[in-house]
Amino acid sequence: EGSLSSSWNEKYNSLQKTPIWKSKNAGSAVEMPFRNSKRSRLFCEDDDRQINTRSPKRNQKVAMVPQKFNTTAPTPDKKASQKIGLRLRNLLKLPKAHKWCIYEWFYSNIDKPLFEGDNDFCVCLKESFPNLKTRKLTRVEWGKIRRLMGKPRRCSSAFFEEERSALKQKRQKIRLLQQRKVADISQFKDLPDEIPLPLVIGTKVTARLRGVHDGLFTGQIDAVDTLNATYRVTFDRAGLGTHTVPDYEVLSNEPHETMPIAAFGQKQRPSRFFMTPPRLHYTPSLQSPITDSDPLLGQSSWKSKISGTDSETLGGFPVEFLIQVTRLSKILMIKKEHIKQLRDMNTEAEKLKSYSMPIGIEFQRRYATIVLDLEQLNKDLNKVLHKVQQYCYEV
């Protein structure tokens, strides 16, 4: 008993002792178990806990002042676009990435209808299966069609040479259509339905330069060479100057105009190689007084040939039209010389002004003479241009 009582006391030594109650009938003490009080929100088991009877403090109302939102703060979409733009700019600084973008997305006006049309697979599909009206087929059906068409020959030297040759031929056909040098359009069935029109002088373009300045640059067309299929482009960036660029490396910044291929067959210009122009009786009354007053045309060797012929057309064009074109060319040539002289005199005047030297009377007289000559040339040029435009509308 002693060992059991000692172990019992050791086991419950740390616990709180239970109160001892004495009964009325018996003198012996009876131990009653201690009843823990129920925990409430105001009382706890700890006697030293104080009860907070104060009411909660009310928060003061804060007056809301309307704030103006900053509209210049970038939105999440704008931040993302700026981040992507910065990464794209860093990518395009790499030479290989820049060339890849040119090969992938830069198409000139003459190449755009050729590359943006149906690819070779679609063309072969139309020729091999003309009755196939749908393109929604299963994988097995597409595999069957590919087996019937055969394995394509790709990435070989012969294939690339053949594709380049076909591309050159199509480009040349488009150039013939643009210059209206076509008699029969039945030979142009391999071309797209819409043919781009040639670019004119003054068009804002994006052209590719090769060599030292390799890349895409913006500029303006100054001249058109239909014989060599090139454009003379003056670039906007300082130091690039003016270069001759092939037509397949020039893209217009504005939406390019196109014309249906059928329209070239309806509005083709008569050519002396394919059809004889109508011959009308030439009367001396139709002779223009320009041939008499103009010193160049009055002394020309072919003036007598014109007056002696029985037709008012020469090479498929009216003689009067050819006279006006010749006069126009002469006026432009003289105007070009006057502009060159005026430019030299401006340079000389600036040099004299920088040295604080007076400008002489003779210099002023020559300068005024050139300016008056240019004014008269502009008037004559407007008259001749008006007549040439009238003949162009008739043709």
Together in a domain, 171 and 232: yes
- pLDDT (average), residues 161-174: 91
Q: What is the pLDDT of residue 107?
A: 92
What is the Cα–Cα distance from 207 to 244, expressed in whole angstroms? 10
**333 located within any domain:** yes
Worst-scoring range by mean pLDDT, 197-201, 251-255, 319-323, 365-369?
Answer: 319-323
Together in a domain, 248 and 329: no
Domain extent, residue 349, equals 317-394
Residue 232 pLDDT exceeds 90: yes
The larger pLDDT score, comparing residue 177 to residue 7, is at: 177
Q: What is the pLDDT of residue 3?
A: 53
- pLDDT (average), residues 118-144: 83
Residue 26 pLDDT exceeds 80: no
What is the Cα–Cα distance from 305 to 319, expressed in whole angstroms? 11
Among 221, 248, 265, identify where a domain stops.
265
Name the average pLDDT for the chain: 75
**44 located within any domain:** no
Domain count, the chain: 2
What is the Cα–Cα distance from 30 to 18, expressed in whole angstroms? 11
**329 located within any domain:** yes
Tell whether pTM > 0.85.
Answer: no
Together in a domain, 103 and 235: yes
Together in a domain, 223 and 157: yes
Q: What is the pLDDT of residue 111?
A: 92
What is the Cα–Cα distance from 172 to 195, expressed in whole angstroms? 12
Q: What is the pLDDT of residue 55?
A: 58
CATH of the domain at 214: 2.30.30.140
Worst-scoring range by mean pLDDT, 12-21, 250-259, 268-277?
Answer: 268-277
Token readout for 256 is 């390019």
240 CB-side CA count, 13 A = 24
pLDDT digits (tens, 9 = 90+) for 28-69: 555 555 555 555 555 455 444 555 555 555 655 555 555 555
pLDDT digits (tens, 9 = 90+) for 184-226: 777 888 888 888 988 988 899 999 998 888 889 999 998 888 8
